[in-house]
Amino acid sequence: MENKPLIGQPLSRLEGYEKVTGNAQYAAEYNIPDLLYGYVVNSTITKGKILSVDVSDVLALQGVVKIFTHENRPSLAWFDLQYADMDAPPGTVFKPLSDNIIRYNGQPIALIVAEDLETARYASTLIKFVYEEETFNTILSQNLDKAREPKIGMSTPLKPPPPKPTGNFEQAYASAEFKTEAKYRHGTEHHNPLELFATTTIYEGDGKLTIYDKTQGTINNQLYVANVFGLKYKNVRVLAPYVGGAFGSGLRPQYQLFLCVLASLELKRNVRVTLERKQMFSFGHRPQVIQSLRFGADNSGKVTAMNHNAVGETSAYEDYNEILVPWSHKLYPAANTLFEYKLAPLDLATPIDMRAPGGVSGMHAIECIMDELAYKLNMDPLDFRLNNYSEIDPSTQKPFTSKELKQCYKKGAEKFGWHMRNPKPASTKKGNRLVGWGMATGIWDAYQFPARAEVILTKEGRLEVHNATTDIGTGTMTVMTQIAADEFGISVDEVSFFYGDSKKPFSMFQGGSAITASTGTAIVAVIRELKKKIIKKIKDSPNSPFKEIPEDQIVFRNSGLSVKKQPDLFITFQELIKANKGKEFKAAKLAGPDLLKLRKFSKATHSASFVEVEVDKDLGTITVTRAVTAVAAGKIINPKTARSQILGSMIWGISKALHEETLIDPNLGKYMNANLGEYHIPVHADIPEMEVIFAEENDGLINELGVKGVGEIGMTAIPAAIANAVFHATGKRINDLPIHFDKLMGHHGY
pLDDT in tens, 368-384: 999 999 999 999 999 99
Q: Tell me which amino acid residue 40 is.
A: V
Extended beta strands in 490-597, E state: 495-498, 554-557, 560-563, 566-572, 585-591
Alpha-carbon gap, residue 91 to 319, rounded angstroms? 6
504 within domain boundaries: yes
Q: Where are the alpha helices (DSSP H) in 564-694?
A: 573-579, 595-598, 639-658
1 within domain boundaries: no
Contacts 24+ apart (CB under 8 A), 579-586: 579/537, 579/538, 579/541, 580/537, 582/459, 583/459, 584/456, 584/457, 584/458, 584/459, 585/456, 585/457, 585/530, 585/533, 585/534, 585/537, 586/454, 586/455, 586/456, 586/457, 586/530
Alpha-carbon gap, residue 261 to 268, rounded angstroms? 10
Burial string for 304-315 (b: 16+ CB within 10 Å, else e) reads bbbbbbbbbbbb
Specify the DSSP class assigned to residue 557: E
Q: Where are the alpha helices (DSSP H) in 109-229?
A: 117-123, 169-175, 218-229
**Residues whose CB is less than 8 angstroms from the CB of residue 236 and which lie 6 or more positions away in sequence, other chains included:** 208, 209, 211, 222, 225, 226, 502
Q: Where are the alpha helices (DSSP H) in 268-388?
A: 327-331, 359-377, 381-387
Average pLDDT over residues 737-745: 91
Alpha-carbon gap, residue 407 to 608, rounded angstroms? 9
Q: Is the pLDDT of residue 638 over 50?
A: yes
Q: Is the pLDDT of residue 3 over 90?
A: no
**90-104 residue pLDDT tens:** 888 999 999 999 999
Contact 250, 215 (CB under 8 A): yes
In the structure, what pLDDT confidence band is assigned to residue 750 with cuts at 50, 70 and 90?
very low
Q: Is the pLDDT of residue 155 over 90?
A: no
Alpha-carbon gap, residue 311 to 148, rounded angstroms? 9
Q: Same domain for 459 and 550? A: yes
Q: On the CB side of 561, how many CA atoms lie within 13 Å of its CA?
A: 24
Q: Same domain for 205 and 81? A: yes
Q: Same domain for 298 and 432? A: yes
629 within domain boundaries: yes
750 within domain boundaries: no
22 within domain boundaries: no
Contact 199, 213 (CB under 8 A): yes
339 within domain boundaries: yes
Give the other-Cβ count within 10 Å of 583's Cβ: 11
Angstrom distances, CA of residue 592 to CA of 478, 504, 595: 21, 17, 8
Q: Find the helix packing angle between 718-730 and 359-377, rounded to 10°.
A: 30
Determine which helix (DSSP H) or strand (DSSP E) holds 414, and give its type and residue range: helix 405-416
Contact 116, 63 (CB under 8 A): yes
**641-668 residue pLDDT tens:** 999 999 999 999 999 999 999 999 999 9
259: helix, strand or coil: helix
Average pLDDT over residues 422-427: 96
Burial of 700 (0-12, 13-18, 19+ CB in 10 A): exposed
Q: Report the length, in residues, of the chain.
A: 750
Alpha-carbon gap, residue 616 to 611, rounded angstroms? 17
pLDDT at 4: 75
Contact 90, 151 (CB under 8 A): yes
In the structure, what pLDDT confidence band is assigned to residue 181 with cuts at 50, 70 and 90?
very high
Contact 203, 268 (CB under 8 A): yes
Contact 73, 97 (CB under 8 A): yes
CA angle 707, 713, 716 (to 5 degrees): 165
Q: Same domain for 429 and 528? A: no
Give the other-Cβ count within 10 Å of 541's Cβ: 15
Q: Is the pLDDT of residue 525 over 80?
A: yes
508 within domain boundaries: yes
Percent of the chain whose pLDDT exceeds 90: 90
- Least confident stretch, 118-122, 485-489, 541-545: 541-545
In the structure, what pLDDT confidence band is assigned to residue 2 with cuts at 50, 70 and 90?
low
Average pLDDT over residues 146-161: 85
Q: Same domain for 644 and 522? A: no
CA distance between the termini of the chain? 68
Angstrom distances, CA of residue 654 to CA of 243, 612, 658, 660: 24, 12, 6, 9
Q: Which of 246, 276, 306 is the last residue of a domain?
A: 276
Task: Provide the CATH number for the domain around residue 214.
Answer: 3.90.1170.50
Q: Same domain for 250 and 300? A: no
**216-273 residue pLDDT tens:** 999 999 999 999 999 999 999 999 999 999 999 999 999 999 999 999 999 999 999 9
**661-684 residue pLDDT tens:** 999 999 999 999 999 999 999 999
Q: What is the DSSP code string of 45-59?
A: SSSEEEEEEE-HHHH
Contact 728, 425 (CB under 8 A): yes
Contact 244, 254 (CB under 8 A): no
**Residues whose CB is less than 8 angstroms from the CB of residue 684 and which lie 6 or more positions away in sequence, other chains included:** none
What phi, psi does 211 have (nearest 5°)?
Answer: -125, 125
The percent helix, strand, coil of the chain (3-state, each to 5) is 25, 25, 45
Contact 383, 670 (CB under 8 A): no
Q: Same domain for 271 and 291? A: no
**Mean pLDDT (the chain, rounded):** 95
Query: Nearest CA to 193 among 247, 272, 252?
Result: 247
R_g of the chain, CA atoms, integer Å: 28
148: helix, strand or coil: strand
Domain hosting 645: range is 146-188+286-447+600-743
Alpha-carbon gap, residue 725 to 734, rounded angstroms? 11
Q: Tell me which amino acid residue 240 is.
A: A
Average pLDDT over residues 441-448: 97
β-strand partners of 250: none
Extended beta strands in 97-177, E state: 101-102, 108-114, 128-133
Rounded to the nearest angstrom, the gap between the alpha carbon of residue 653 and the centroid of all alpha carbons in its chain is 14
Q: Which of 592, 618, 643 is the last residue of a domain?
A: 592
Alpha-carbon gap, residue 259 to 228, rounded angstroms? 11
Q: Same domain for 376 and 522? A: no
Q: Which of 592, 609, 624 is the last residue of a domain?
A: 592
Contact 497, 507 (CB under 8 A): no
Contact 363, 441 (CB under 8 A): yes
Q: Same domain for 262 and 220? A: yes
Alpha-carbon gap, residue 689 to 215, rounded angstroms? 32
Q: Find the helix packing angle between 639-658 and 718-730, rounded to 10°.
A: 50
β-strand partners of 131: 50
Q: Tell me which amino acid residue 392 is.
A: I
Q: Same domain for 572 and 555? A: yes
Determine which helix (DSSP H) or strand (DSSP E) holds 605, and give its type and residue range: strand 604-616
Q: For strand 208-213 and strand 236-239, is the pairing parallel, antiparallel, or unpaired?
A: parallel
Q: Same domain for 641 and 557? A: no
Angstrom distances, CA of residue 626 to CA of 414, 656, 660: 14, 16, 20
Q: Is the pLDDT of residue 336 over 80?
A: yes
β-strand partners of 356: none
The count of domains in the chain is 3
Average pLDDT over residues 540-561: 90
Give the other-Cβ count within 10 Å of 183's Cβ: 12
Rounded to the nearest angstrom, the gap between the alpha carbon of residue 251 and the centroid of all alpha carbons in its chain is 8
Q: Same domain for 510 and 570? A: yes
531 within domain boundaries: yes
Task: Provide the CATH number for the domain around residue 426.
Answer: 3.30.365.10
In the structure, what pLDDT confidence band is assigned to residue 746 with cuts at 50, 70 and 90?
low
